[in-house]
Structure 1
Amino acid sequence: MTAVPTPREPAQSHEPPDSRDEPPGPYGFIGLGQMGAPMAAHLAGRGLVVYDARPEAMAPLVDKGARAAAGPAEVAAGCRIISLMVRDDAQVEEVMAGILPAAAPGTIVAIHSTIHAATAVRLAERASPYRIDIVDAPVSGGFMGAQAGTLAVMVGGAEDAFARCREPFGTWADLVLHMGPVGAGTRAKLARNLLHFTAFAAVAEAQRLAEAAGVPLRRLARVVRHSDAVTGGPGSIMLRSTTAPLDPGDPLYGIMENVLALGEKDLSLALDLAAEHGVDTPLARLALDRLAEGLGLPPRISPSDSPRRHGE
């Protein structure tokens, strides 16, 4: 583990004023991989300073006018907002060890990597004696969104730090949301990705059923992408501000009842088809058992009423 640097002494009267009162200045970007490089490219016209352990990763941005730094400390010395898009917690910690002793008070370090929420909180505590703000600001939208500048960014941190980051983040994101204090951005990203990758497992289950039933998978995929683009996919049902049961007088109650009726019918039919073709569909069974509760409604179908798994 890289040694934690010792905080500098409090600023003396001959030192420059806190950079919160200064113009933004150059923007730093550390980590120029598949996501970081296209994100940084959107900032190349504003005095961008970049660093990556691979010199060849910096070259395209230098060609666009960025300045290559020799390391994180050099980025920190000249920039008042610094983005990190490195691989994992260990790399974030290593880069931060170089930034903290070199950055001016009032610098903001934005961590875009998906890390443990506790890591962001711990780094914010470590940065506090330096008067450096940490925001955890993971992104969603993939390489395509990074290229197009259409990412979503979930920001955890102080209100004033978020306000300073909002405009530069908007060069590579078209949805910039403040989720709460430090750590909240990462918690939001982990919840979002739970949905993402659980859906991937459900995709595999649906494909197995479709293939067994003689459905052409690539045509089915076209239908899924088309209809999700129209309806909004799973996000279209994320309408509530709480997961508590809905009150019958809530305007959403009738909407969710309709969703439940359709969902129970269609999941039951899919499970019948799976049993007919000998395809095990555990996620579909779980979805049928838990759909009502997930929608905030009392259950209308018990596990004993659910279509039996194949072989039972």
Structure 2
Amino acid sequence: MNSVPDKIAIAIVTFNRSTFLKELLVSAAKMNTPAWRIIVVDNASTDDTQDVVAAAMADFEPGVLINHRLETNTGGAGGFSEGTRVSLENGADWVWLMDDDVEILPDALEKFAPWMARFTCLHGRRYDYDGSPFYWQAKFNDFLGVPLPYTRKTFNKEGFALTNSGTFEGMMISADVVRQIGLPDPRFFISWDDAVYAWLAAQVTDVAYVDAYVLKRKREQKQISLAGVRHLNDSSPLARYHVMRNRAYVAKYFESQGKLNRFGFAIGTCLTFAKEIFRLIAVEHTLRGSGVLVKGVRDSRKLLADKTWKPMDPQDVPASLH
């Protein structure tokens, strides 16, 4: 039986959801094998998040729970970039990235341990808020530049599937891989940042999706089930805008790795736009919000024309201060 690696840091990004954060920290304190460090990146919350973090300190050994408050809201992308940076500065060998609206299952690290001996970037499975399996788009089609969904039959006989996409709702990544590909890119703000980060990891190592449940989502969302393959959730104007705007950053990263097929990527962008229109109609029963998508497309074109853009530099990954 594989032992749990020693220096696992959990990086949590939160913004004005103190109730969810409190429940997550309670679950972290009940883990069978405690995390080495827990970094809470507070994205300039205006609620009682700081009080929640302060109260939770008593549930952990001194120095385990680190309160890292930002002066401005940098979005999920900025928060996870900062959480990864702080984790590595503190000496983490692994970083487990997660939003604030999940609960950690008590035996999560024990379930991860065998896979961490084999892979350096991986994802476990999640239950939805109602206890049903939660699906996520899990593998990039390089021609289209979009991730395609897994089905229940994806896992092989050993209980894993190799992928090239990911989510910051549970990605586990080793510090060695971070040092090769750089920190998560804060310029995304929200949307596509996690998928692209795992795609970059897949250029240097195997990325695995393992059939082991480690998290449970706590936030209920409007959603529909698409033939049992995945769920399509509701969205927000901010998210819709960045889904389209950030296609430019996806293209830039594909181009930086010599993997951009401009014709296929254009088709993928059209499919992404169509999916967001379908989301509006099928999940939210409206077309209000389509203008935000159009604005995202326009701003994406401006970013694509930026000749000064460069990917995140691995040289900027900090060395451990401990």
Q: TM over 0.5, yes or no?
A: no
How high is the TM-score relative to the length of structure 2? 0.30
User: Which structure's CA Rg is the greater one?
Assistant: 1
Decide which structure has greater strand share: 2
- Between the two structures, name the one with larger relative contact order (CA 8 Å, sep ≥ 6): 2
How high is the TM-score relative to the length of structure 1? 0.30
Decide which structure has greater helix share: 1
